[in-house]
Amino acid sequence: MSPTALQSPPGAPEILRRGRALVAPALTQAVGSLHPWVAEMACYALGHCEVGGAPATGAQGKGVRQALALLGAEAAGGPAEAGVPAAVAVELVHTFSLLHDDIMDGDALRRGRPAVWKAYGTGPAVLAGDALFALAVETLAAAPAGARIVCAVRQLTTALGDLVRGQADDLLFAGRPWTGPGSVGVAEYEAMAEGKTGALLGAALALGAQLGGAPGEMAAVLDRAGRHLGVAFQIADDLLGIWGDPAVTGKPVHGDLRQGKKTLPVLAALKAPGGAALAQLLASERALDDVGVRRAAALVERAGGRAAAEREARRHLASAEELLAGATLAPDVAGRLRTLVSSLADRTV
C-alpha cells in the first residue's frame, strides 16, 4: 500500500487551511497594488494586519469561499492553482460586503475586533470597500483563461447583482411588521438569503470550475448547489447569532435579536402556534434590553423556531448535496467537496 493510501482524507479544517495557504500570496499581492492607505485598511479588513500595519494574529475569516473556488477548479479536472484568481476575487468581494454591511448595520465588532469603520472612520472604510470591490473584478478579469474569461466575469457580475438584491431585501425587512399583513414569509426570507449569501458561494464554485476548464453545464450545476449551500450557511449564521458563543463567533451576544433582525428562527417561531408570546414581546415599542433578548431567545426556542430553522438548513444542504452527487466531478475532489459542504451548516463559528 502506498503511503498516501494510508492517510485519512482531509477534514473541513484542513481543506480550509490548505485553501488559505494556497491563496494568501496572490491575495497579499493584489491588495499590495492598492494605494498604501487603502491597502492598510484592506489588510485590516482581511485580518492580515492591525491598525498601523503591524501583522495581525487570529482575526482572519474562515476562507470558505476561496476553498470552494479551488475545489471548483479541481472538480472540473484542473489544478487547484487554476482557481486562485477566482478564489482571490470571491474573497475580496466577501471582505468588501462584510465591511459595507457593518457600516449599514452599525455593527461595531467584526471577528472580535473593531469593524473597519470603527477603526478608520466611515468615509475611509467606504473607500476601502470600493477598492476591494474594484480589485476583485480586476483580478478575475486578468485570469489567464482565454475566451472563458468573458463567461467568468459575467458569472461574477450576476452574483454581485444578486448580492445587492438580497441585501436590499434584508434592509427593507427591518421596516416590515413581525406579524400579520406585510410580515416576512419564510419563502421571502430564503430568496433574500440566496441573494445575500448563496450567490457568492455559488459563484465561488462556478468561477473556480470555469477557470479549471469546466463545461458551462457543470458550472451552472455548481452555482445552483452553492446557492442552496448559501441558504443553509445563512440559516446557520442566524442560529449562531442567537445561540452561538460570542467568544467564538466574535459577534456581540444576541446582536440580531437586539437589532430586531428578521432572522429565520424568529420568523419561523412567529408563524408557529406557540408564537403569540414572542410576537407580543417583539411588538413592544422599547428596544429589548439584556433580559428582553434572553427572554426572546427562550421564546423562539419554545415555539420551535430553532428546530424549524435547523430543519430548513438541513433541507437546503440536502439539495446542495443532491446536485453535487448528480454532477460529473473529478472523483477524489467530490469527497472533499462533500466534507466541506456538510461541515458548513453545522458550524460553530
Question: Could you tell me which residues come within 8 angstroms of residue 2 by beta carbon, excluding any fewer than 6 positions away?
Answer: none
State the number of binding residues for ligand GRG (CB under 6 A): 18
Residue closest to ligand GRG, measured at CB: 61
Long-range CB pairs of 157-164 (<8 Å, 24+ gap) are 158/199, 158/203, 159/93, 159/199, 159/200, 159/202, 159/203, 160/93, 160/199, 162/194, 162/195, 162/198, 162/199, 163/93, 163/97, 163/195, 163/196, 163/199, 163/200, 164/195
User: If binding is defined by CB under 6 A, does position 228 make contact with ligand GRG?
Assistant: no
Specify the length of the chain in residues: 349
Does 100 participate in binding ligand GRG (rule CB under 6 A)?
A: yes
Nearer to ligand GRG, 219 or 344 (CB): 344
Q: Please name the amino acid found at residue 276.
A: A
Which residue, 142 or 248, has its beta carbon nearer to ligand GRG? 248
Binding residues among 192-221 for ligand GRG as defined by CB under 6 A:
196-197
CB of 249 to ligand GRG, least distance (A): 9
- Which string of x and - marks every residue 165-194 that binds ligand GRG (by CB under 6 A)? --x---------------------------
Residue 234 as a binder of ligand GRG (CB under 6 A): the answer is: yes
Is residue 107 at the binding interface for ligand GRG, with CB under 6 A as the rule? Answer: no
Instruction: Considering only the stretches 2-10, 16-24, 229-237, 318-326, report the one whose residues sit in contact with ligand GRG under the rule CB under 6 A.
Output: 229-237
Taken in order 293, 294, 297, 302, the sign of the CA dihedral is negative
**Cα(120)–Cα(77) distance, integer angstroms:** 43
- The residue ranges of DSSP E strands in 210-308, in sequence order, are none
* Residues binding ligand GRG (CB under 6 A): 61-62, 64, 93, 97-98, 100-101, 111, 160, 163-164, 167, 196-197, 233-234, 237
